[in-house]
Structure 1
Amino acid sequence: MVWADRAAAAEHAIRHRHLRRLWGLPGTVLGRSGWPPTLGDRLHRNWNYWWQAHLLDCLVDAELRDPDPGRRATLRRFVRTVRLRNFGSWINDYYDDIAWLALALQRVSGVTGIDLNGALRPIFARLGEGWSSDAGGGIWWRRGDTFKNAPANGPAAIAHARAGQIGRARELTEWMRATLVDPSSGLVWDGVRVDTGEVETYIYTYCQGVYLGACLELSEVEEAARTVGAVAANCAPGGVLRGQGGGDGGLFAGVLARYLALAALRLPSGVAVDAARALVLGSAQACWDNAIAAPGGPLFGPEWSEPAPASDDLRQHRARDLSVQLGGWLLLEAAASLE
């Protein structure tokens, strides 16, 4: 179980370097945004809400890989702490943020049995408020904004589908297909500015991932297979998923890896399954080979095909970002799921 062992090493590293109490309060745990930590990191001053949602998701991956009562206790504490750090609320003004948290909470509930309907209800209510007929449908990126994008609509579609709200999931997915999927390449563009009608044609890896995930939840086999092919042809030079820097970009390729692994597990055998599997395992091998030893375990770089920076240079490097380390951990859990 090579990949399971490597995923466990990534989990240990992040637990050692990033997981700490919130403001020193007993019974709390949250991920510090950087390592080595600044004073702001120690105080959890930077509230990277959606990074924490993915940390929670990674803990669920680890629990499915290797069930452990201690980790389940961590999951419970983590969920409570997210609400505490968010000043007693589950929601904020970013529809993508709350959709990511909904996905994580759905999975936490599934593996722990905790009733999280009290958290999910306000999230789904807010997502419902985000829908409008502007630009043909879809939900906004942020309240009060004029931008609609794949990173909000994709995870929302997956969350709605997993909640049994298939009609809304299909509406969101069909809106993405009609508005944001390049008909020639099959790649998913970033979003559309409703006030001008301008489509932002940037290609971000996580946009491909969430659209793929939505297609998988809706059993849209041909569209999912086409997306895998588009990713293989355009987003993975040398068979390794392309990185997109630190900050939020540190998570982008890891998100795509999660849904590529699901594609490899769920699609009928064939070219798309082989391609998805090769992308995950090839990227994971590169990520592991280019990691360096650091306190607690491996340290990953933002570009998996390149060596991670020496640890004494970290304060000036994006590899210190929690997002980058989560991206590597997410990838290794995806690889472990294919063993």
Structure 2
Amino acid sequence: MDSAQRADAAERAITERHLRRLWGIPGTVLGRSAWPPRAGDRVHWHWNYWWQAHLLDCLVDAQLRRPDPARARTIERFARTIRLRNFGRWTNDFYDDMAWLGLALHRAGLEPDAVGTLVDDLRGGWTDDAGGGIWWRKGDRFKNVPANGPAAILHARVGEREHAARLLVWMEERLVDPDSGIVWDGLRVDTGELVALVYTYCQGVFLGACLELSEVDAAVRTVHAVADRCTVDGVLRGQGGGDGGLFAGILARYLALAAVELPGDAAGVARQLVLDSADACWEGASEGPLFSPEWTEPSPGTPPPPGHVARDLSVQLGGWMLLEAAASLSRED
């Protein structure tokens, strides 16, 4: 089975298991947060705004890979339903969430006014505390790469490159290990405490911002840091369920872009990380496919046992996102 067929199988499995109407309303569609669903998942009580943004992004990936009028209609309904489930608003209190939805809508070519609203809200999150950057959440005192990274990518894509560059410079100065090149998580502004956790998510969005702004040296450094610090036998390592289920998939998305856009050895390293991770993810999947949260380990089976993190939409989206990244590289060959 080639990479496009794998991505197609992932799309089919996830859409069949997770996509359902919102509250039974005709013309709506949203992703259930778990499969098999709990009672709260069935009514989209647990709906996870930023997981939905990544589901929309994966649908856009699939549409680029294999255009289909029915999927295009689903994408339009999905975008509208996110706003409906968010009680008529596009925004929320988390700057990282809003950046992801803005990126997905922008890639889909939908709701330009909504994208503008989200960009305006993100821009307003900048303060001079701790030298700049935006907050993780409104009313919070924590600044981190998971918010500043996707915000920088979005600002760059809508033409606000100067502001995007300010965000990238702040991350570079405050949250990159000068010795290893690895990107740390964040900074507690009031105490000055550095949260030096290493998440694949942070490497991915920092890399994405570097690529958008043509910061080649920083992008190359990040690719090599990922290969050295974020892999198990050449495969991107997982970070559990919940939000962590998306982290490695996010990194794979931007590694695939790096494989196309970077020069020399770094492009080859990025490409191999994506392809080897995709092979491991696919080989470890159980019937369906249903993906493991750790791509070097087998899936727990279909359906996953009660309480297992493979039930999480985020984990399955991470696998789908990875396989779409691998398929995108095959289109470049």
Determine if the TM-score, normalized by the shorter chain, exceeds 0.5. Answer: yes
2:260 aligned with 1:265, yes or no?
Answer: yes
- 1:200 and 1:335 map into 2 onto residues whose CA distance is 32
Match of 1:127 in 2: 122
What is the 5 A alignment of 1:1-339? Answer: 2-109=2-109, 114=110, 116-268=111-263, 270-293=264-287, 297-339=288-330
8 Å contact from structure 2 (residues 223, 266) kept in 1:
yes
Letter in 2 for 1:321: D
Q: In structure 2, do the counterparts of structure 1 residues 92 and 189 end up closer, same or farther at CA, with 3 Å as the change threshold?
A: same
SS of the residue 1:286 aligns to? helix
- 2:88 and 2:207 map into 1 onto residues whose CA distance is 33
8 Å contact from structure 1 (residues 36, 314) kept in 2:
no
Letter in 2 for 1:234: R
Q: Which stretches in structure 1 are left out of the alignment for 5+ residues?
A: none
SS of the residue 1:314 aligns to? coil
- 2:26 and 2:194 map into 1 onto residues whose CA distance is 47
- 2:217 and 2:301 map into 1 onto residues whose CA distance is 44
Alpha-carbon displacement from aligned partner over 1:116-144 (angstroms, at most 9, x marks no partner) = 22211221111111000000000000000
SS of the residue 1:298 aligns to? coil
- 1:312 and 1:226 map into 2 onto residues whose CA distance is 40
8 Å contact from structure 2 (residues 18, 34) kept in 1:
yes
- 1:118 and 1:127 map into 2 onto residues whose CA distance is 14
- 2:11 and 2:46 map into 1 onto residues whose CA distance is 22
Q: In structure 2, do the counterparts of structure 1 residues 286 and 208 end up closer, same or farther at CA, with 3 Å as the change threshold?
A: same
Alpha-carbon displacement from aligned partner over 1:195-221 (angstroms, at most 9, x marks no partner) = 000010000001000000000000111
Structure 1 residue 47 displacement after superposition: 2.7
- 2:71 and 2:9 map into 1 onto residues whose CA distance is 15
- What TM-score do you get using the length of structure 2 for normalisation? 0.98
SS of the residue 2:13 aligns to? helix
Structure 1 segments (4+ residues) deviating >3 Å: none
SS of the residue 1:299 aligns to? coil
SS of the residue 1:292 aligns to? coil
- 1:153 and 1:279 map into 2 onto residues whose CA distance is 24
8 Å contact from structure 1 (residues 40, 46) kept in 2:
yes
- 1:316 and 1:93 map into 2 onto residues whose CA distance is 28
Structure 1 residue 82 displacement after superposition: 0.2
- 1:223 and 1:313 map into 2 onto residues whose CA distance is 40
- 1:63 and 1:48 map into 2 onto residues whose CA distance is 23
Structure 1 residue 312 displacement after superposition: 4.9
- 1:77 and 1:324 map into 2 onto residues whose CA distance is 23
Alpha-carbon displacement from aligned partner over 1:131-184 (angstroms, at most 9, x marks no partner) = 000000000000000000000000000000000000000000000000000001
- 1:291 and 1:129 map into 2 onto residues whose CA distance is 42
Alpha-carbon displacement from aligned partner over 1:241-284 (angstroms, at most 9, x marks no partner) = 0000000000000000000000001112x110110001000000
SS of the residue 1:316 aligns to? coil
Q: Which stretches in structure 2 are left out of the alignment for 5+ residues?
A: none
Letter in 1 for 2:277: S
- 2:306 and 2:210 map into 1 onto residues whose CA distance is 40
SS of the residue 1:315 aligns to? coil
8 Å contact from structure 2 (residues 61, 324) kept in 1:
yes
SS of the residue 1:148 aligns to? strand
- 1:124 and 1:313 map into 2 onto residues whose CA distance is 38
- 2:61 and 2:71 map into 1 onto residues whose CA distance is 11
- 2:269 and 2:305 map into 1 onto residues whose CA distance is 34
SS of the residue 2:187 aligns to? strand
Letter in 1 for 2:122: L
8 Å contact from structure 2 (residues 304, 310) kept in 1:
no
Structure 1 residue 192 displacement after superposition: 0.1
Structure 1 residue 313 displacement after superposition: 4.3
- 1:275 and 1:311 map into 2 onto residues whose CA distance is 33
Letter in 2 for 1:249: G
SS of the residue 2:34 aligns to? coil
Q: Which one has more relative contact order, counting CA pairs under 8 Å at least 6 apart?
A: 1
Letter in 2 for 1:288: W
